[in-house]
């Protein structure tokens, strides 16, 4: 009796499990074939994909151009595609080998080893050209094709600025819940401009060569190879950046040649308030998250570059008397420690005397405790520098990914502490600003006090070159410095270079006249050989009389005697001049 009951239970369990399996099978094959699981996987499409060999020529994603219309991403190079089934055919191998400039044996070897279509590019055939593609296609034999393929490497130029794409099905579905037609393997932007402009760059349709195979990899329907492409004159879209490809390349070459391992440089077009070149180091490596950080958009201790703010406040508030001198044998706290002698205000700025600016800051703070942050705002140093505004349904679209804003005071109580005021005056304590903000401050001074947002993208255009949307120039709101203050700042910034004791005297023999300010900030870190590490800056603009460019160079975590800041700044200015006259 007990045995009979157990048998019934076993049979019942078996039937229940069998029923559940039938339900699951029905879900898979009948009800949810095109939207299976939370990821909305198209099972029919995936089944077809398993029986299809394909060569992706272009993923259909939008691309980036430089300011001259040259491709920064989505570049196409000639390539030859050989399908594996050619090995069993009597195909014109000799003609193909002659066109490609390689032996028949080499082609046969490539095919014998192949389990998937073989792609021959300039990496394997140096002389591959447009003519090669044309001649291969003139053979008109199924299985060998000349095409133009997008480079599959990540962009090596401006990698931090342009950013990266990756496959992330969960992020794709959460970010675009209404775009169920996007395959789960679609790449989306994760950093840089790829991230901020991702919605405009999403592919409409990719371009492929494909053919169907049986279980052994042989052609299922003969040697019929299908070409699929987007027949649309408007998509994919292109983002025309303000970057200059030649200048960007030169800046990266200079930074690397000099050996700057951490930090970078940013160059602005002052009139257009746009980025011509932006370099961050270390190089971006997708396998190392820390390398993806763009230091040009991160707040960093500015050191004496921040004395520009104190100088502006002193000029505006008329805090310096005619012929007044400062005892620069004293350190920032007013104690014996330096040996620069008695200096005027202009000399103090040129030689970066700490005591002058800490004493001025203390005097100014007694009259107005908000004077430092107010002047920082007037100089565009505490607002995000990058372009932001309304773009279609986004009310707060930002061109720069993960751009941060500067900070002056960490604790309002510090405004009543003498040593805290002194440290703040020389760009230490809690003062942190981004190199892009500093570059924008220099551009603001060079323009006579006019504050503008900085652009990295000029417009978005359709595939046929017509404009979809323009990014208009936008001013930064709030108060600005007056014309007189700007002129006086221009004078002292120039004296940093022209003075024989100035901290920028190295730049005197450049083909452009440079104005600017150096900066050295302690990091609180030590090197392996027990040397103090600093953040070393030089920020300026040129030509001094008729400013066109603002440039900031930053070398991070470096011993003072090993800093490459001035060498990099020097070489970039020289290269910009060469680029302009050629």
In DSSP terms, 559 is beta-bridged to 533
In DSSP terms, 221 is beta-bridged to 223
d(CA 462, CA 236): 7
Q: Is 140 helix (H, G, I), strand (E, B) or coil?
A: coil
Q: 265: closest CA among 294, 308, 302, 245?
A: 294
- CB-based contact 535:523 (threshold 8 Å): yes
d(CA 314, CA 324): 13
Among residues 132, 273, 304, 348, which one is catalytic?
304
Tokens of 6: 């157990």
- CB-based contact 252:155 (threshold 8 Å): no
d(CA 247, CA 251): 6
Q: Is 477 helix (H, G, I), strand (E, B) or coil?
A: coil
328 CB-contact burial (10 Å; exposed 0-12 / middle 13-18 / buried 19+): buried
37 is catalytic: no
d(CA 164, CA 284): 9
Residue with tokens 């044996």: 105
DSSP symbol at 30: I
**Angle at CA of residue 450, ends 446 and 455, nearest 5°:** 90
Bond preceding residue 543 cis, omega within 30 of 0: yes
Q: 303: closest CA among 412, 416, 438?
A: 438
Q: 266: closest CA among 537, 490, 559?
A: 537
- Report, in angstroms and rounded to the nearest whole number, the Rg of the chain calculated over CA atoms: 31
d(CA 308, CA 376): 9
DSSP characters over 25-70: HHIIIIISTTSBTTTTB-HHHHHHHHTEEEEEEE----EEE-TTS-
Catalytic residues: 304
């Amino acid at each position: 009796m007990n045995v009979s009951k157990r048998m019934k239970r076993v049979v019942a369990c078996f039937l229940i499990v069998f029923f559940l399996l039938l339900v699951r099978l029905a879900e898979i094959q009948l009800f949810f074939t095109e939207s299976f699981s939370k990821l909305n996987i198209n099972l029919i499409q995936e089944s077809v994909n398993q029986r299809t060999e394909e060569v992706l020529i272009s993923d259909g994603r939008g691309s980036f151009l430089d300011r001259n219309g040259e491709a920064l991403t989505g570049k196409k190079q000639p390539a030859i595609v050989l399908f594996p089934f050619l090995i069993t055919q009597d195909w014109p191998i000799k003609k193909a080998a002659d066109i490609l400039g390689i032996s028949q044996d080499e082609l046969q070897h490539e095919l014998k080893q192949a389990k998937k279509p073989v792609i021959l590019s300039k990496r394997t055939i140096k002389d591959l050209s447009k003519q090669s593609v044309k001649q291969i296609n003139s053979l008109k034999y199924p299985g060998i094709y000349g095409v133009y393929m997008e480079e599959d490497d990540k962009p090596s130029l401006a990698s931090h600025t342009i950013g990266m794409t990756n496959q992330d099905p969960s992020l794709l579905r959460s970010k675009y819940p209404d775009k169920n037609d996007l395959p789960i393997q679609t790449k989306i932007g994760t950093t840089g401009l790829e991230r901020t402009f991702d919605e405009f760059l999403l592919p409409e349709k990719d371009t492929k060569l494909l053919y169907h195979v049986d279980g052994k990899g042989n052609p299922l329907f003969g040697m019929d190879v299908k070409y699929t492409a987007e027949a649309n004159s408007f998509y994919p879209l292109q983002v025309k950046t303000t970057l200059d490809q030649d200048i960007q390349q030169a800046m990266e070459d200079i930074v690397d040649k000099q050996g700057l391992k951490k930090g970078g440089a940013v160059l602005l077009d002052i009139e257009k308030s746009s980025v011509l070149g932006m370099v961050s180091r270390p190089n971006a490596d997708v396998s190392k998250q820390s390398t993806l950080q763009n230091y040009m958009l991160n707040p960093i201790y500015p050191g004496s570059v921040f004395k520009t703010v104190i100088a502006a406040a002193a000029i505006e508030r008329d805090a310096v008397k005619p012929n007044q001198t400062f005892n620069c044998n004293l350190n920032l706290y007013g104690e014996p420690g330096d040996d620069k002698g008695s200096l005027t205000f202009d000399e103090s700025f040129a030689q970066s005397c700490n005591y002058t600016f800490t004493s001025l800051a203390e005097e100014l703070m007694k009259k107005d405790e908000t004077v430092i942050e107010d002047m920082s705002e007037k100089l565009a140093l505490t607002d995000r520098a990058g372009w932001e505004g309304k773009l279609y349904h986004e009310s707060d679209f930002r061109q720069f990914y993960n751009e941060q804003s500067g900070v002056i005071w960490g604790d309002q109580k510090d405004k009543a502490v003498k040593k805290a005021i002194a440290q703040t005056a020389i760009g230490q304590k809690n003062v942190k600003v981004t190199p892009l903000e500093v570059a924008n401050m220099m551009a603001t001074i060079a323009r006579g006090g006019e504050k503008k947002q900085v652009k990295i993208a000029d417009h978005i255009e359709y595939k046929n070159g017509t404009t979809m949307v323009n990014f208009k120039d936008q001013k930064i709101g709030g108060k600005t410095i007056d014309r007189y203050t700007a002129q006086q700042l221009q004078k002292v910034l120039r004296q940093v270079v022209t003075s024989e004791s100035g901290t920028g005297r190295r730049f005197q023999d450049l083909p452009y006249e440079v104005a600017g300010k150096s900066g050295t900030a302690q990091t609180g870190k030590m090197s392996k050989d027990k040397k103090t590490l600093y953040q070393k800056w030089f920020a300026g603009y040129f030509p001094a009389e008729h400013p066109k460019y603002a440039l900031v160079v930053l070398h991070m975590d470096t011993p003072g005697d090993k800093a490459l800041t001035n060498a990099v700044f020097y070489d970039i200015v020289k290269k910009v001049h060469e680029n302009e006259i050629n």
